[in-house]
Amino acid sequence: MADNDTSIERRLAAEHKALAFALRALLRRAPVVCGETDAVRAAAARMRAEGVGSIVVVDDRRRPVGIFTERDLVHVVLDGALDGPIGAAMTRDPLALAADTPAYEAALAMIELRIRHVLVTEGQALVGVVSERDLFSLQRLGLGELTMEIRLARGIDTLAQLAARLRRLTKLLVDQGVAAEQLTLYVSLLNDRICQRIVEVVRKRHAWDRIAWCWLAFGSEGRLEQTFATDQDNGLLFEAADAREARAQLLPFARAVNEALDACGYPLCKGNVMASNPDLCLSSAEWQAKLEGWLANSDPKALLDAAICFDLRALAGDARLAQTLSEWFLARTRVRPNFLRLMAENALQARPPLAKWRDFVTEADGAINLKLYGVRPFVDCARIVALAHGLPATGTAARFRAAVAASVLPERDAQATVAAFFFIQQVRLRHQAALEKLTEENANRIDPNRLNELDRRTLKQAFRLERDMQSRLAMDYQLG
């Protein structure tokens, strides 16, 4: 059985590597399009003549405004509206990705949003459509099957086995050279699925009424940047008439979920940043009061400890609660210059380990902590940019890219910064995959002398970009 599992995992690894292609490489034909006022009957006839399962509705500048699929056609037939305008029956604002987007992002989005088509654009103009069939012909097993196995798991023991399988698969993907951005997103989303299924399984054992709730992910999970070494960082957000009574009902549930996650290989957080902590199982009003307290706090240590919660993301339950809380928080951070300045001060504490006369500054044992001195500065700077400009993205790369779209950062600088960030992530992943026994102490400590010459030079350049980024941050907030 073990040999068969290994064979399947290697096949999965090879197929996932194929998803690194840009979407434009998957386009085989021009998209089939129509106008918003065209009749559904005419559009359906065009779909049949072209042999396609969807038609894209575009405006007069060929910008997509909607999509109409075979599923939509069934509803129209049942409603007897074949002669009505397709604009009334289409799905508005379909997912559109740039042509140079890696195919894995489209695959993950299809699973995340449960859709079957992704529009491909150059600028704002439509250039093609990629279907579920196009993507999953590249991976006959892959994301869809593994996600389905997780969804159908009935107990924690089965989920623990699937989590272990995910870790084995991740090592194979690292060995095959899959890019860090693809890999961390892949790992994070499948970890999401495991956590969501654990929440569903545990929820059935706990009864409560009239409580709207949302399980929150913080830290690297909130940013979709998980590696092999990942403990739990989570919380609970709820709405109820009596917050104290609701918390009493929710805490046993939260404790059971935290324990189940631990059993599945996601260790309990030593800092107790978990939903089973009463200080992180709060009503919306209580979360607002806690966040407001952090905004007014002048203690750098307190802000450093709190920063992990600023990357919150809804994982299970009512996501609208988390969205409302995030919007409330972002509206306040951008008008709190003292708070942002303190965050910037904290961000400058972890300086890149560059020596004046040598390559690197290392600790006594010759190692560098890549999480503390490599990843954290990028994460901290991206978070400050997002909080300062009200950008809702939580991922580090997503925040830098959102800053470009908002004309906050120059595109060239942001691209170089993102590339440096993911190079350091790649070094971390390769290091962790090679360890026989992964521990908190060895997970992020690398000896730069064991890197090849190209990686040493690239790491040094990544640290230089990090130093430049921190210099700009210090200038923006007038920090010496």
Q: Dump pLDDT digits (tens) for 287-304.
A: 999 999 999 887 877 887
The pLDDT value recorded for residue 20 is 62
The token pair at 242 is: 């009596």
Residue 75 belongs to a domain? yes
In this model, does residue 1 exceed pLDDT 70? Answer: no
Return the bridge partners of 56, or none: 33, 67
pLDDT at residue 142, rounded to an integer = 54
Domain boundary among 333, 352, 377: 333
Q: Is there a domain that residue 13 lies in?
A: no
Q: Is the per-residue pLDDT at 50 higher than 70? A: yes
What mean pLDDT is predicted for residues 231-247?
A: 95
Q: Is the pLDDT confidence value at 461 over 80?
A: yes
Q: How confident is the model at residue 438 (pLDDT cuts 50, 70, 90)?
A: confident
pLDDT value at residue 8: 45
Same domain, 158 and 288: yes
Q: Average pLDDT, stretch 364-368? A: 91
User: What's the rounded mean pLDDT across residues 57-85?
Assistant: 89
- Same domain as 180, residue 111: no
User: Do 215 and 114 lie in a common domain?
Assistant: no
Structural domain total, the chain? 3
> Are the CB atoms for 52 and 29 separated by under 8 Å?
no
Give the C-alpha separation, 117 to 53, whole Å.
Answer: 9
Mean pLDDT calculated for residue range 121-142: 72
**Which residue intervals of 235-375 are DSSP H helices?**
243-263, 284-296, 300-306, 319-333, 337-347, 370
What is the mean pLDDT of the segment spanning 58-74? 90
Q: Are residues 162 and 241 in the same domain?
A: yes
Nearest residue to 419 via CA among 176, 184, 174, 181: 181
Cα 412 to Cα 407: distance, rounded to the nearest angstrom: 12
Distances (CA, A) of 119 to 57, 115, 122, 289, 306: 11, 11, 10, 42, 39
Residue 11 lies in a domain: no
| Proportion of the chain above pLDDT 70, given as a percent | 93
Task: Write down the pLDDT at residue 133.
Answer: 75
Mean predicted confidence (pLDDT) in 20-48:
88
Instruction: Reply yes or no on whether the pLDDT at 313 is more than 80.
Output: yes
Of the three residues 316, 333, 350, the one that is the final residue of a domain is 333
Q: What is the CATH number of the domain that holds 69?
A: 3.10.580.10
- 385's enclosing H/E stretch is helix 376-389
- Tell me: pLDDT of 322 over 90: yes
Q: Write down the pLDDT at residue 18.
A: 56
Examine the pLDDT at 219 and tell me if it is beyond 90. Answer: yes
Nearest to 144 by CA among 133, 159, 160, 154: 133
Predicted confidence at residue 356, as pLDDT, reads 75
Query: Does 4 fall in a domain?
Result: no
204 and 80 within one domain: no
In a shared domain, residues 376 and 346: yes
Please indicate, yes or no, whether residues 291 and 219 belong to a single structural domain of this protein.
yes
Higher per-residue pLDDT: 436 or 161: 161
Q: What CATH number does residue 443 fall under?
A: 1.20.120
Q: Flag whether pLDDT at 439 surpasses 80.
A: yes
Residues 123 and 170 in one domain: no
Q: Averaged over 12-22, what is the pLDDT?
A: 58
23, 26, 30, 36 alpha-carbon torsion, rounded to 10°: -50
Structure tokens given for 178: 């899959």
pLDDT value at 143 more than 70: no
Same domain, 173 and 253: yes
Amino acid at 23: L
- Is it the case that residue 4 has pLDDT exceeding 70? no
Q: Average pLDDT, stretch 382-410? A: 93
Query: Is 5 part of any domain?
Result: no
Q: Is residue 461 part of a domain?
A: yes
150 with 36, same domain: the answer is no
Of residues 437 and 379, more confidently modeled: 379
Asked if the structure places residue 200 within a domain, the reply is yes
Q: 462: which residues sit within 8 A by CB, 6+ positions away?
A: 374, 420, 421, 423, 424
Do residue 56 and residue 164 come from a single domain?
no
Instruction: Specify which of 111-125, 253-267, 354-368 reaches the highest per-range mean pLDDT.
Output: 253-267
By residue range, what is the domain housing residue 304? Answer: 142-333
Range in 44-48, 105-109, 435-439, 470-474 the model is least confident about: 105-109
Q: Over 70: is that where the pLDDT of 140 sits?
A: no
Q: Mention every residue, 6+ apart, whose C-beta is less than 8 A from residue 207.
A: none
pLDDT at residue 377 above 80? yes
- At residue 240, does pLDDT exceed 90? yes
With 80 as the cut, is the pLDDT of residue 60 above it? yes
Residue where a domain terminates, one of 109, 136, 163: 136
Domain harbouring 252, CATH code:
3.30.460.10
| Residue 28 located in a structural domain | yes
Instruction: Please state, in angstroms and as integers, the Cα–Cα distance from residue 125 to each residue in 25, 62, 371, 393, following that order.
Output: 17, 6, 40, 24
Give DSSP secondary structure letters for 9-52: HHHHHHHHHHTTSBGGGG--SPPPEE-TTSBHHHHHHHHHHHT-
The verdict on 310 and 393 lying in the same domain is no
